[in-house]
Structure 1
């Protein structure tokens, strides 16, 4: 019987991992760029571990190593997909082909001829002048065959798309000629007394600088990020969806400073320029047609020209908060000497756009609105009617109101997360990689089900869901909700709730109101009931960062203790009247 191969549960978001029996496998589709140098379409390798964190680490390293290997193959494979090089690549190739190729030959010639007599020395200088003048005449009239030959070899070796009748081809040949003339000119200047002579040609200066800044094989910005991400996943400091979002920022950063650039060559000036370009961009420029196909620099320039609203300094700092830890890791692992982000964050306070709590009047409007009293039809939940919902649309905001839990924490509930202890029903808000459930703190916690929430029929709803799931208690409590492309299960209800608040006239623009406002409302209600913030953080599941919190295995906040806190909250009568 063949072994059944099944993918790791989608909710774990482990993109390259497949579960085969109890062992994780690395499974990766070969990107189009490398299909000409890799016969396999899919790479499948057993990671020989059942530990998902260890598997994540191995998968990250394996992916980085494969990319490094494929890049190496591309350099020597003429059948690889050809591409158009940029100007810096042409200058680098011309410098390597002519300047750096001729330079050691001149040194060898000097050693061979032993220029220890005036006659020999003058003869050498005459040869240099003659060669330089010959090259200058050829450059001004018709290229030398050797330059054309060198250009053709480089184009073939590097797999460039550079037709011989193109302007770029002729420009490349001209760069090779300029680099050849420059190496002779520098050598001649040194022999005539200017011992510190350096190249003045833009081609050679740019080529040498690019070579100095180019990353070693396997150590480009994105390759190092993959290693960094693998370590963070293995350490449990990052989740797969978080890594995916971080990679988008790093890809944008790498595109800005140069994808093949070494991290050690990135300077604070590069970071400042990237930061200031970000600060000039509109919030959603990538989705706007007006900026379609534009680079970051061009999009920023266009936005400035038309006076478009730009992203806030707080948001720019979020981007920097993605790049800085990565570059800090590069310093720790000896890929760079310093973190160029240090000192370049905007000096702005966090939380400039906090999530406000709902006022009493807003709560009155919410719970007397059509979603809770009767709406027209699906898609028109904000318009009055006789239809009522018995699904996530109705129950998630209500549960958020009575528990103060995050919307994603409620959306991810399974039926078996509704439990009892000492006769008190409660929700187990899980953080469990095996089931794909998570909390912001990284710990599971309990949230008692308020007596009023019981009274309006939440437990009966749970029983109905269990019956619909044919008794399978591990089924989702809200099966209509699926994770989005970022792996977030709370995205759909969050978006629905923001839109609903706008349609009933409570939310306006980016005022911060949303499902998270229920959490802030709960915090205020607990303060009003006489509880201190260190007690409230336990009820809300905030991460306790005290020394004592690190002792033992039992988390703070028993079901009985938190239940007492929640029951001491005064629930407005108008809420209960609307939900009766």
Structure 2
């Protein structure tokens, strides 16, 4: 939420469904919706003048004073000279004398009582900018004095130039600071977030970004804009600004924004507090992820002539992404997992790690088993519909769909097949599918795991992933940040296929990794037919432990 409208809009983030799956149309609708929201908020401000967004700081006051009493007056003086025809010595001396007397009058007024025109300018600026600046306050008097200073300075500079100092520059602190702030301030419609919205719309239209990714990227860019100043121009962002943001970010604790200890603190304040108490900091890899969001955006700004260079260049930490990848499960860990209460009988819901007589016949039980025997991602299994369990030439398979209209997604952005291993069939997965079909009254379009709902980012696999990490810790398989989790089943399958003699380019097809090759763009038959991948899965060495079918 822009700072200007926070007094008339209580929401910190506005999320609205555009009700379309067409990315090009979505980008157009999003732009119109943003414009409508800004118009609505402006209307609220006009209806309620007392709803002022914020109290301006000294730099904002100097910028406003410089704009209204220096920058706007300069061209008017030049126009005046052209109309007066100062082509005689008498006329020229008369103009100089007018400037001197005006400056003298301004100086006397500043020292005694402000001129009415200065007060009028101050009131107009306050009203136009919706500032909280009452007339009986010291801040108001200071603002009027800044306007007076800028008015005196514009006359002084004009007089110096007419007297022969053609390179005369302002010496007033107010005007010098105001001009510097003006240079660093974005033009109308070109703030950091406004340019990001253009960048996002283009990436969506090109199909290079998904809406969920844009939402997450915008959070990073918004935090950066807040750090350097929301009105700072893209062109004025320097490598020093990036370094400062990077180092402050690196000093923050993970998820500090959700911790009460840092509530209400700015990034700098939170970083200083974390450093003072010796809190654990964000890893360099995570900092690089933030830079990897900011850098492409700034690179786009260079390409589109909003900036001269990308200030992120050379400022990434020298760490390798994926240095600690998700490890596969060992044979002993798999035995421990499937001999645990969730698969043999647990106490009650919420106590799945404690022995008992209750059995699950839902996502808790089936998702890890399906992941083990298919190598599919948790989110891909969690988003399945009943109709996605299909047959081809007598071989059952899962259709792992990428379909934005139904909210089903794959990392590669492509739909693929995932045959069901014979062991998975023996355990009773197909019987479970039929039970779900019966519970859904035959509606094949219903979710296979109806208890699951997407999180705020639209990810269906968030809940089972979190549940599985916690469960592994509770049964003693996982310890700290060892990387073990639901994705470890996928790595386990990769190792099993390698052990069976397959090369990585074959395994990539079976696991649904995106292969960007020339050949991949030829023909219409998909890589990895159901029969071929089924043969690959059947050739792996299956675990020696037994998983029994659920009996309901």
- Tell me the TM-score normalized by structure 1: 0.86
What displacement does 1:139 show? Answer: 3.2
Unaligned runs of 5+ in 1: 1-30, 37-41
Match of 1:213 in 2: 184
- Name the SS for the 2:398 alignment partner: strand
One of 108, 115, 136 as aligned partner of 1:144 = 115
Match of 2:12 in 1: none
Contact 1:33 1:81 in 2 (8 A): no
Once residues 101 and 459 of structure 1 are traced to their aligned partners in structure 2, the CA distance between those partners, rounded to angstroms, is 77
- Answer yes or no: is 1:438 the counterpart of 2:409: yes
Match of 2:308 in 1: 337
Once residues 468 and 538 of structure 2 are traced to their aligned partners in structure 1, the CA distance between those partners, rounded to angstroms, is 26
Q: Structure 1 residues 452-461 or 153-162, which shifts more? A: 153-162
Match of 1:568 in 2: 539
Structure 1 residues 529, 577: closer, same or farther in 2, change over 3 A?
farther
One of 379, 390, 393 as aligned partner of 2:361 = 390
Q: Structure 1 residues 475-484 or 224-233, which shifts more? A: 224-233
- Answer yes or no: is 1:203 the counterpart of 2:174: yes
Once residues 171 and 317 of structure 2 are traced to their aligned partners in structure 1, the CA distance between those partners, rounded to angstroms, is 38
One of 345, 352, 355 as aligned partner of 2:323 = 352
- Name the SS for the 1:574 alignment partner: coil
- Answer yes or no: is 1:408 the counterpart of 2:408: no
Contact 2:63 2:178 in 1 (8 A): yes
Match of 1:535 in 2: 506
One of 261, 275, 278 as aligned partner of 1:307 = 278
Match of 1:276 in 2: 247
- Answer yes or no: is 1:295 the counterpart of 2:266: yes
- Answer yes or no: is 1:61 the counterpart of 2:68: no
One of 122, 128, 136 as aligned partner of 1:165 = 136
Contact 1:403 1:447 in 2 (8 A): yes
Once residues 44 and 515 of structure 1 are traced to their aligned partners in structure 2, the CA distance between those partners, rounded to angstroms, is 31
Q: Structure 1 residues 190-199 or 360-369, which shifts more? A: 190-199
What displacement does 1:385 show? Answer: 1.0
What displacement does 1:337 show? Answer: 3.3
Contact 1:68 1:217 in 2 (8 A): no
Unaligned runs of 5+ in 2: 10-14
Once residues 36 and 313 of structure 2 are traced to their aligned partners in structure 1, the CA distance between those partners, rounded to angstroms, is 32
Alignment of 1:72-111 (within 5 A): 79=49, 81-87=51-57, 88-111=59-82
Contact 1:363 1:575 in 2 (8 A): no
What displacement does 1:72 show? Answer: 7.8
Once residues 141 and 352 of structure 1 are traced to their aligned partners in structure 2, the CA distance between those partners, rounded to angstroms, is 69
Match of 2:299 in 1: 328
What displacement does 1:363 show? Answer: 1.3
Contact 2:8 2:45 in 1 (8 A): no
Aligned residue pairs, count: 542
What displacement does 1:239 show? Answer: 1.7
Once residues 563 and 189 of structure 1 are traced to their aligned partners in structure 2, the CA distance between those partners, rounded to angstroms, is 87
Alignment of 1:25-44 (within 5 A): none
Once residues 337 and 72 of structure 1 are traced to their aligned partners in structure 2, the CA distance between those partners, rounded to angstroms, is 33
Match of 1:3 in 2: none
Q: Structure 1 residues 133-142 or 237-246, which shifts more? A: 133-142
Match of 1:516 in 2: 487
Give CA deviations for 1:97-124 in whole Å, capped at 9, x if unaligned.
1112332343345445666666666665
Give CA deviations for 1:393-420 in whole Å, capped at 9, x if unaligned.
0110111111111100000000111111
Match of 1:485 in 2: 456
One of 214, 221, 232 as aligned partner of 1:261 = 232
Once residues 137 and 471 of structure 1 are traced to their aligned partners in structure 2, the CA distance between those partners, rounded to angstroms, is 89
- Name the SS for the 2:406 alignment partner: coil
